[in-house]
Structure 1
Amino acid sequence: MKALVYRMAGLGDSILVYPLLEILVKKGYEVTVWGNTEYFNLAKEAGFCKKTIFYEPKEKFDLNIIFSQNRDILHSNNSIYINPIPGEQLWIVDYYLKKLGFQNETFSKVLTLPFSEIKHDNFCIIHPGSGSKKKNPDLIFFYKLEKILKDYGFETLYLLGPAESELVKNFKNSVYAEHPVEIAKILLKADFYIGLDSGVSHLSSYLGVPSIVIFGPTDPEVWHPIGANLTVIRYESCKPCFPDVCKERKCLETEFLISELCKYIKKLEISKTQIMSMKN
């Protein structure tokens, strides 16, 4: 049996389709993904699909799953069309599986890849960007965060990509990476990760890296990453308002974010102290 999955989207939205690909493979399908191929290369590495393509395929499939409202995309009797934006407050992965009748199927909470990296102790990777500036706090937040991490003995590295190219001049201790496989190898070195609602954050959490993800105007109930070692920070007094973001953006105020992150960093410090005392 052959299945085609169409999902043309950014890195984070592409990753949120991975559980479906894994389930289809378990059910015996040979899966082809039609989308931004670079974002599905990790799915291919994990064995969740046979191949990835960017253009409409010529071959026929037993099942076509189309994440789009445009029914002119590969119109056929065996095509299932799914609106990629849920009309209810339900985690997006559960929404997709519910639409396909797969809600009782299990999937991996950690993306297992055929390569690994040696983790660096007390090493934190920070990703200061996202697909929309509306979701990003002021730069002063990252400067204050870096100082606090340094005071606690953590080494920091900013991970920058095309969406953050203009920030290269702002962060001296940074690395630039574009391709998901390259990004994954960098993330796997981290002791923990701090980022915004972004594709990189989705990847970090899915890789099993302890990840703190800041959700400002977006809704984590719907868009939170896959992963069992995830901490979400959000200002609960404000309702999600993306994309019509309010001017105040209290959910991204520096002092609030620093206060919440310090709670987590202190827990890390206590945990590390306890481990060291047990070794001694």
Structure 2
Amino acid sequence: MVNFILLGFSDQPQLEVLLFVVVLISYLLTLLVIILIASIDPNLKTPMYFFLTHLSLVDICFTTSIVPQLLWNLRGPAKTITALGCAVQLYVSLALGSTECVLLAVMAFDRHAAICKPLHYAAVMNPRLCQALAGVAWLSGVGNALIQSTVTLWLPRCGHRRLHHFFCEVPSMIKLACVDIHTNEVQLFIASLVLLLLPLALILTSYGHIVKAVTRIKSVQAWRKALGTCGSHVMVVSLFYGTITAVYIQPNSSYAHTSGKFISLIYTVLTPTLNPLIYTLRNKDVKGAMRRLFRRDLGS
């Protein structure tokens, strides 16, 4: 089996050492914070923390599917990845990225229920529904990866193996094909509409209802409570969707440009690092659980 060449940032070798340090620190920080979140107070059993646990799992698996290979390629002139490694990276990263898109929409629905229907929140967001929604997120991500990645890998490449990217991703992989890829581009665009813009539309709809509900109350305290409840999620959604849509919903001719690779670096490395930090630093329950965890560890 022929290896692929991940050109990545080889056209800017002066940046590779800096990128190596930044990516390594980001990855280690992601591991540390997510391990801490996994260790927080087990009494935090609300739907929000249930979905936050799933988001943390998605983030750590997503970055792990990309970062080790990226660090290996940044450390020296060798930029190769095996065909099997590329296929695994393609399936896993696409599945997890798609899962996160849907999961963020599910979390927006949870925030909508918490603010718009506070008296019925426990009944609406019951454990069975939470598990079903999380299952839908994972199944949609895996299903999309099975279809998109399989179709992409079946394309004939006629010996082309130089990827203008730092990891194996569908838009860059289909560019290696030596046949007409118009059908594949249309398929990718439709998948992007379904798994990017549809969840984003649901998120915006949820927050539209939240703003309407809070506006009716006309209370500064209500606005502060809504901001405290939704602020972390809004920041995470802005970071993730602001970068990933710039990559997938754009003219194909501009995808391989350096700016596209740096944008991909943000949503594959930096955003998963910032997600748990945002939830940790902005949420008083998580901060309280963290303090109790540290006191317990220091006391032992």
- Same fold by TM (over 0.5)? no
Which one has more relative contact order, counting CA pairs under 8 Å at least 6 apart? Answer: 2
TM-score of the superposition, structure 2-length normalised? 0.24
Larger radius of gyration: 2
Structure with greater proportional helix content = 2
